[in-house]
Structure 1
Amino acid sequence: MSWIKDYVRTIPDYPHEGIMFRDVTTIFESDEAYPRMIDEFVAHYRDKGINKIAGIEARGFILGGAIAHMLGIGFITIRKKGKLPHDTHTEEYELEYGTDALEIHVDAINEGDNILIVDDLIATGGTAIAALKLINRAGGKVSDACFIIDLPELGGSNALTEKGCDVFSLAQYEGL
């Protein structure tokens, strides 16, 4: 599935020196790549018994909403702390420079829902694992997570796998 790499813009030294930023907005802008990418995710998950998609702010909304629509299932927003208007569950997670938090509405999930986590990129896995914990706390089950890009050297996909979550990505990049 390396075709997707043709649409990813790499920006050296952003946001810090030594980082190769993988910009996926170029995929979203393409009338060829965006639908093809969504179709690949849908084909992969069509028969997996997923009954809701949870998209992580913000690019996970762009992917997850389209996948949920194509699968004919509901979509859940996982947002940064303070962005949801109703009662929430909150999960803090570690960043290299401190902590951050994600939230989900307390009534977004029904007991036993099988939920697919969707985001654009997995690096260390901190955000995705926080999302998994939120979903579990709300009564759902996460069997799968998908990403456009995986940076395997940073260990995020392995960390999710260790928590019983299958990980699917369209492209992998070595290094940062």
Structure 2
Amino acid sequence: MNAEQEQKQLLVRERIRDFPDFPSPGVIFRDISQLLKDPVAFKGAIDLLEAHIKASHPQVDYIAGLDSRGFLFGPVLAQRLGVGFLLVRKKGKLPGPTESASYTLEYGKAELEVQKDAVKPGEKVILVDDLIATGGTMRAACELMAKLQADILDCVVLTELRFLKGAEALKPFPLYSVLQYD
């Protein structure tokens, strides 16, 4: 990482606030609201994600954003890269025929969906979200893309909570994070 990228990373980190004991005791919530309010910091976050994608993946067909904060970063990245954007939504939010994958939450199960015609076999996809914790949501999104026979190039996130071992849950799919918290 060069000096300019390090400055952007520092600015991004400074704009993420910690809220202890939210939504439950013992949890530290990493809030991106201040990052989104600051156009320079938000641009820096997008620049860092874009630089990684361009350096690592010269050919991309789609950016797939995870419901809902992946919708904040994904369309901007897709536009900058000149590729399409795909919606990976919570169950029941997409019209037409869909594929679904379930994943486990602390308090139950949830499902993600994508439209069956979102990608063609072999098309190259990068999945994006704001954060990875245990990896369940991102793993389900990878499973959806795999069902459609997409070539999953990478999973990119702004923040990674390493102590929850989300990267382990994604294997064999790769993970890139701008910021890491241990």
SS of corresponding position for 1:108 = coil
Aligned length: 172
- Residue identity (%): 38
Shift of 1:125: 0.2
Return 66-75 or 2-11, whichever deviates more: 2-11
How much has 1:158 moved relative to structure 2? 2.2
Work out the CA distance in 2 between the residues paired with 1:138 and 1:45.
Answer: 22
Q: What pairs with 1:1-80 in structure 2 (closer than 5 Å)?
A: 1=6, 2-3=9-10, 4-47=12-55, 48=57, 49-80=59-90
Q: Which residue of 1 aligns with 2:3?
A: none
Question: Normalization by structure 1: what TM-score?
Answer: 0.94
TM-score (normalised: structure 2): 0.91
Q: Using the TM superposition, name which of 119-128 and 34-43 deviates more.
A: 34-43
- Specify the SS of the correspondent of 1:143: strand
Q: Is 1:168 aligned with 2:168? A: no
Deviation at 1:69, TM superposition (A): 0.3
Q: Aligned residue for 1:158?
A: 168
**TM-fit CA distance, 1:167:** 1.1
Ranges in structure 1 where 5+ consecutive residues have no aligned partner: none
Question: 1-side partners of 2:156 and 2:33: how far apart?
Answer: 17
Q: Give the deviation of 1:169 after TM superposition.
A: 0.8
Provide the C-alpha distance between the structure 1 equivalents of 2:24 and 2:139, rounded to a whole number of angstroms: 24
Matches within 5 A, 1:118-157: 118-157=128-167
Q: What amino acid is the match of 1:101?
A: E
Report the more deviating stretch, 39-48 or 106-115: 39-48
In structure 1, how many angstroms separate the alpha carbons of the residues matched to 2:42 and 2:13? 12
For 2:148 and 2:33, the matched residues in 1 are separated by: 31
Residue deviations 1:21-69 (CA, integer Å, cap 9, x gap): 0001211111110111111111111251221100001110110000000
- Report the CA distance between 1:159 and its aligned residue: 2.1
Measured in 2, the distance between the counterparts of 1:77 and 1:28 equals 20
For 1:101, what is the secondary structure of its paired residue? strand
SS in 2 for 1:46: helix
Secondary structure of 2:102's counterpart equals: strand
Q: For the residues of structure 2 that align with 1:25 and 1:85, how far apart are their CA atoms?
A: 30
Aligned to 1:84: 94
What SS does the aligned partner of 1:110 have? coil
